[in-house]
């Protein structure tokens, strides 16, 4: 068995070595996609086009406007003079945010009253709108703190008012002190690219053998079906390990994502993830007779697996039915493992539930895939 399996593996690697275009497809697209996703995958919003209507025309209102102009989050593109100009800017997509400062703004501040500030948001892109509103809340909070401090200590020579007792918030993020979003997204990109690459390679390779007729030629040889399955899947398992190592190196060297965990934990988690992914690709091949069918099935399954993995959308915010469906998604568990190993440095004692889930998924998928594949051959 081992002799026949070694011959099968040698055949696969010789085919890969002779096909220079295949080597190119395995390496260059992964690096390019890593670079593109690394720069494009972000929730940070910069240069939000903003229109301002200042009906107060006071020192306080101009000071508030300067707080918005001083940050790269907002670009003030119009200092409107009336409400119709604000409406026109929003309707014609010239501005995403409109800030209206009503008359009496500075008077209310001087009297210690709450000074209302109107913010109009284009809600067509709800994600950008919510993030921009968060930035506005921070700027207004800082402005309010400055105004409160100026009222408590009006001048160096004048009498000081009674100090205002407040809460001083001191944030101390763990594992990502600078709150760098790339540190969160890059490990997720590694798992996502590996999933797409290995599933596609496994499914297409076996379907291609069936489509060109070489599958029957191999099966009439002394090699047994289980040896054929191992010979076709082991190379893609090793390719997957190489892909993970390659894109991890790019993430660490190019994007400076720290890797503080144990490489052995990463290796075990990657191996279990790849076994589940190879099983998924093999299962897809049993439902496909042509490469076109494999491509359609690949597109049908991988997109939901990506969305329901927790890569960008929190699983806890999904409906209960979808949360249950994510439990059969190997990418969900691998993202937890790879992010924890990269950023937290945790080990087997913490990650054993995810590792156990991946091992169970790998066992189930490989068993079902092998049984279905043997049935389809029969």
Q: Is 6 left (phi over 0), alpha (psi -120 to 50) or beta?
A: alpha
Q: How far apart are CA 182 and CA 335, in angstroms?
A: 14
- The mean pLDDT of 296-302, rounded to a whole number, is 87
Q: pTM for the whole thing?
A: 0.81
329-356 residue pLDDT tens: 999 999 999 999 999 999 999 999 999 9
Q: Give the sheet arrangement for strand 48-54, strand by strand.
A: 74-80, 48-54, 97-101, 118-121
Question: Is residue 164 predicted with pLDDT exceeding 60?
Answer: no
303-336 residue pLDDT tens: 899 999 988 888 988 999 999 999 999 999 999 9
- Domains in the chain, please, with CATH? 48-152 (3.40.1710.10), 182-375 (no CATH)
Does residue 49 contact residue 92 with C-beta atoms inside 8 Å?
Answer: no
- The mean pLDDT of 6-21, rounded to a whole number, is 74
Question: Is residue 235 predicted with pLDDT exceeding 90?
Answer: no
pLDDT for res 218: 67
- The mean pLDDT of 172-188, rounded to a whole number, is 86
- The band of 119, judged by pLDDT with boundaries at 50, 70 and 90, is very high
Question: Is residue 219 predicted with pLDDT exceeding 70?
Answer: no
% residues pLDDT > 90 (the chain)? 44
Does residue 100 contact residue 120 with C-beta atoms inside 8 Å?
Answer: yes
Judged by average pLDDT, the poorest of 188-192, 354-358, 365-369 is 365-369
Question: Is residue 378 predicted with pLDDT exceeding 70?
Answer: no
pLDDT for res 369: 81
Does residue 365 contact residue 276 with C-beta atoms inside 8 Å?
Answer: yes
Q: Rank 44-48, 255-259, 369-373 by mean pLDDT and report only the highest.
A: 255-259
125-153 residue pLDDT tens: 888 888 899 999 999 988 888 887 776 65
Per-residue CA distances from 98 to 59, 73, 144, 330, 361 (Å): 20, 14, 19, 44, 50
Query: Beta partners for 121?
Result: 97
pLDDT for res 337: 96
Residue 68: count other Cβ atoms within 10 Å of its Cβ: 21
Q: Which of 322, 335, 326 is nearest to 361 (CA)?
A: 326
């Amino acid at each position: 068995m081992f002799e026949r399996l070694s011959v099968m593996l040698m055949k696969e690697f010789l085919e890969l070595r002779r096909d220079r275009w295949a080597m190119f497809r395995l390496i260059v697209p992964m690096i390019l996609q890593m670079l593109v996703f690394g720069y494009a995958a972000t929730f940070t919003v910069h240069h939000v086009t903003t229109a301002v209507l200042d009906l107060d025309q006071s020192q306080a209102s101009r000071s508030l406007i300067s707080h918005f102009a001083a940050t790269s989050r907002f670009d003030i593109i119009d200092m409107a003079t009336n409400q119709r100009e604000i409406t026109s800017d929003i309707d014609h997509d010239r501005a995403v945010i409109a800030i209206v400062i009503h008359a009496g703004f500075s008077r209310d501040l001087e009297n210690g009253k709450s000074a209302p500030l109107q913010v109009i948001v284009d809600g067509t892109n709800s994600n950008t709108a919510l993030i921009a509103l968060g930035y506005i809340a921070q700027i207004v909070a800082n402005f309010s703190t400055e105004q409160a401090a100026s009222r408590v200590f009006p001048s160096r020579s004048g009498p000081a008012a009674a100090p205002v007792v407040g809460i001083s918030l001191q944030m101390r993020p763990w594992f990502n002190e600078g709150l760098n979003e790339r540190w969160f997204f890059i490990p997720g990109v590694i798992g996502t690219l590996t999933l797409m690459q290995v599933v596609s390679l496994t499914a297409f390779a076996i379907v291609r053998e069936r489509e060109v007729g070489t599958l029957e030629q191999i099966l009439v040889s002394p090699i047994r079906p289980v040896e054929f399955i191992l010979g076709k899947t082991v190379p893609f398992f090793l390719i997957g390990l190489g892909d993970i190592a390659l894109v991890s190196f790019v993430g660490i060297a190019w994007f400076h994502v720290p890797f503080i965990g144990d490489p052995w934990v990463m290796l075990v988690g990657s191996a279990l993830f790849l076994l589940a992914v190879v099983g998924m690709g093999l299962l897809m091949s049993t439902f496909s007779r042509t490469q076109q069918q494999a491509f359609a099935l690949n597109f049908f399954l991988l997109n939901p697996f990506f969305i329901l993995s927790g890569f960008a959308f929190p699983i806890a915010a999904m409906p209960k039915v979808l949360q249950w469906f994510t439990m059969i998604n190997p990418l969900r568990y691998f993202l937890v493992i790879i992010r924890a190993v990269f950023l937290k440095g945790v080990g087997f004692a913490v990650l054993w539930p995810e590792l156990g889930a991946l091992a169970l998924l790998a066992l189930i998928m490989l068993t079902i895939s092998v049984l279905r594949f043997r049935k389809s051959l029969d």
